[in-house]
Amino acid sequence: MSVASELDTLYQNHSRRILATLIRLLGEFELAEEAMHEAFALALQQWAQDGVPANPTAWLISTGRFRAIDQIRRNQTARRYAPLLADQEEPEDEAAELDYDAPGIEDDRLRLIFTCCHPALATETQLAMTLREMCGLTTEQVARGLLQQPSTVAQRIVRAKRKIRDAGIPYEVPDAEALPARLNAVLQVIYLMFNEAYSSSQGDVIVNVDLAAEAIRLTRLLQALLQSMLQTFSQTEAPNPSQRADITGLLALLLLQDSRRAARQDDTGRLITLEEQDRQRWNHAQIAEGVQCLNRALTQGPAGIYTLQAAIAALHAQAASYQDTDWRQIVGLYDALYRLSPSPVIALNRAVAVAMVDGPEAGLQLVDELASAGRLQNYHLLHAARADFYRRMGNGAAARDAYEKALALTEQAPERAFLQARLAALTGIAKKV
């Protein structure tokens, strides 16, 4: 593998961890971002001459840190960074390696999540900031995930970084007293992080395996952190039972969803729908662990949004076939979920389940109600669901129109290929209409 290819792989898989550690070491988002990119640029030159170091990620962290210190010394705004310089040690070797496997570095991304989810920032800003910095998503991807305009998201991120810097918001996991108030935002961020990993918004692959694994790892880390802190909580400080259940429920959901990863795309890159997936390729050990977590969450407290979604995922995971799935129970779970979180995406997913129970006409009516209310008009899955309902009803012309709208709104290559294949298959149906 060439140095350029290896660096590209490192950037795709590890850049967010490197950035998180550099933010901890340097205390500045913008400075850390500049340092990381400069380290990658230097690596492209130096590794071509000297070879790839034994611990390339540690080399990038260390080099980025020392280059940032040099930049501060050269910068006319050095006075602003004087306290930072006072805390930095002189490097004996600018490429000296850090212990990348040390617990402190492993926890850096959790620290970064808590920093981005500080209560001084508005909830939507917390989400936008974390998805951008933690997941490395583009502003456009973040905007799609939050159903907002890219310009709005970009402004929020810029203001958030400025506020973190000017207010001196600490880069740390909060103490026992502050943790409960921050948990909900952190759980939501990890959930959205996994959603992007589970169905990438663009590119040639459906699942970002590394990002999905990182979301699961962070949820486990958060669960262990909470467990270790429980003995220090007072009666009034302790997370309520629903929060503890939510962490366990989120872990159950991520494990159950991720268990289907190997069956969702074939060797040619073709998207495989849930109905067509080979269930023997599902990770059944992961399903078993997910179901155990779900059962534990149900005993820890009231079923929240993650636990209810995990229950839906468990019904899919445990069904012998697509046709044997208990769709009626899934509709009931979506009813409960919508009462807790009345979002249009949940309403759309419920409509799909209703169509499996009562037929595509019933699902289409619900989707049309969503669309007429002006909700999800730019969400490709709404148009894809409508197209599928029309296809099953034998209305090829209407299905074609809906598939074309879905195609115009998606950038993920496997989804586009799937929609194009469905369009091509409509020829015979269209002639009958």
pLDDT in tens, 225-264: 777 666 665 555 556 677 789 999 999 999 999 999 999 9
Q: How far apart are CA 164 and CA 182, in angstroms?
A: 16
Give the per-residue pLDDT at 236: 52
Closest CA to 246 of 174, 330, 182, 184: 184
Q: How far apart are CA 195 and CA 269, in angstroms?
A: 19
DSSP string covering 48-106: HHH---SSHHHHHHHHHHHHHHHHHHHSTTTTTTHHHHHHPPPPSSTTPPP-TTSHHHH
Average pLDDT over residues 132-159: 80
More confident residue, 143 or 251: 251
What 3-state class would DSSP assign to 319?
coil
Q: Is the dihedral of CA 129, 135, 141, 147 positive or negative?
A: negative
pLDDT band per the 50, 70, 90 thresholds, residue 103: very low
DSSP string covering 28-51: -HHHHHHHHHHHHHHHHHHHHHH-
Q: What is the percent of the chain where pLDDT is above 70?
A: 86
What 3-state class would DSSP assign to 154?
helix
More confident residue, 350 or 205: 350
Give the per-residue pLDDT at 238: 57
Give the per-residue pLDDT at 90: 44
317-330 per-position pLDDT tens digit: 999 999 899 999 99
pLDDT greater than 60 at residue 116: yes
Domains of the chain, each with CATH number or no CATH:
3-101 (1.10.1740), 342-433 (1.25.40.10)
pLDDT greater than 70 at residue 78: no
**Residue whose entry in the numeric block shows the structure tokens 């997941």:** 135
Give the predicted TM-score (pTM) of the model. 0.78
Give the per-residue pLDDT at 80: 56
Helix-, strand-, coil-residue percentages of the chain, each rounded to 5 = 70, 0, 25
pLDDT greater than 60 at residue 100: no
Q: Which of 54-58, 390-394, 429-433 has the highest mean pLDDT?
A: 390-394
